[in-house]
Structure 1
Amino acid sequence: MKLRAACLAAICLALAATAAHAATPDPVIKAQLEKKGTPFTVDDDGDFQITVNVGDGRTQLVWVRSVVEETDNLRIREIWSPGYQSEGGAFPAAVANDLLERSNTLKLGSWVKQEKTAMLVTKISADANADQLDEAIDLTAVAADAVELDLTGKDDL
């Protein structure tokens, strides 16, 4: 029982530390966005929210996450953009299959389900330079907007 309580306390402490870190905007990303002249805001999670002009009067929301995911040898940054939102919890089969097929043809990123939202998640090296980050943001925005337009006909869910 003492071991379980100690493990629970350690998990709570780790989650609190992660949450505190997540709320701190990454100064490297801030500098890179500023270098490219990319307007942004920082949300409550410390992520960078960007409205990308994708042409024809359309815009697409993109978030560059401040949190860096790590494996033994890799450091990964995620870029997110929504493309579809279901009325209920599950996506219709045709929409899910469409997203799977689109994931297969993307140069970067893949579609994931986050609650009721289909989110395009692009993963790049956390050490990417400003030009690489900028290109990944643009590719993510254009691909997510194409899904949004095709599946909903709307601009910005």
Structure 2
Amino acid sequence: MRTTVAALLLATAVSGAHAATPDPSIGKVLDTLKYPYEIDEDGDYKLVFDVEGGRTQLVFVRSAVETYGEHRIREVWSPGYKAASGAFPAEVANRLLEDSQDAKLGGWVKQDTLAMFVVKVDANAGAQALGDAIEAATNTADAMEAELTGTDEY
């Protein structure tokens, strides 16, 4: 696993409605999955996975829980693209929309200059469900990063 300047800058992009205190229930599930992690300054869980071809992929499991009616949602985020300025080029934005249509879990969102693949799961998701969400975010974001940039920044 490695830490890049881009990874350190993501802490700012991922911040927002975060719990400053990490949710210990996430750590327990990640420990069950045997996934190594760090806790960032926002209380989110930061993971870096080795993927095919010697690549790595950064993933965040947010401690904050969002609600909608009776639903309590936790988000899993993984970056796949960074725009040079605030706006994404039209061809990139369209490609991200197309990929969101094809994704079985999650979809692409714009967070400042970053395209983040976000999977929303039940806030009390168990190991299998959270593991599936992390895997979907990891694989989808890494594949898109390789396609759009040909680099391995995240």
Identity of aligned residues (%): 53
1:60 Cα deviation from its structure 2 partner:
0.4
- Report 1:93-112 matches (<5 A): 93-112=90-109
Rounded to whole Å, the distance in 1 between the matches of 2:19 and 2:80 is: 24
Mark the runs of 5 or more structure 2 residues left unpaired by the alignment.
1-15
Query: How many aligned positions are there?
Result: 139
Between Structure 1 and Structure 2, whose CA radius of gyration is higher?
1
The runs of at least 4 consecutive aligned structure 1 residues that moved more than 6 Å come to none
User: Is 1:119 equivalent to 2:110 in the alignment?
Assistant: no
TM-score if structure 1 supplies the norm length?
0.85
Q: Is the 8 A contact 1:149 1:155 kept in 2?
A: yes
Kindly state the Cα deviation for residue 54 of structure 1 after the two structures are TM-superposed.
1.7
| Corresponding residue of 1:70 | 67
Q: How does 1:41-52 map to 2 (within 5 A)?
A: 41-52=38-49
- Matched with 1:54 is 51
Q: Which residue of 1 aligns with 2:125?
A: 128
How far apart are residue 156 of structure 1 and its match?
2.5
Match of 1:142 in 2: 139
Give the unaligned 5+ runs of structure 1: 1-17
Q: Equivalent residues in 2 for 1:9-24 (5 A)?
A: 22-24=19-21
Verify: 1:88 aligned to 2:85, yes or no. yes
1:8-61 CA-to-partner distances (Å, cap 9, x unmatched) read: xxxxxxxxxx97x71111111000001111000000000000001222211100
Is this contact kept in 2: 1:33–1:39, CA < 8 A? yes
Letter in 1 for 2:27: K
What secondary structure, in the 3-state scheme, does the structure 1 residue paired with 2:58 have?
strand
Counterpart of 1:7 in structure 2 is: none
Aligned-partner residue type, residue 60 of structure 1: Q
Letter in 2 for 1:40: Y
Q: Is the 8 A contact 1:61 1:156 kept in 2?
A: no
| Residue of structure 1 in register with 2:29 after alignment | 32
**Local SS of the residue matching 1:98:** helix
Counterpart amino acid of 2:24? P
SS in 1 for 2:62: strand
Give distance in 1, aligned partners of 2:33 and 2:58. Answer: 17
Shift of 1:71: 1.6
For the aligned residues, what is the CA RMSD?
Answer: 1.4
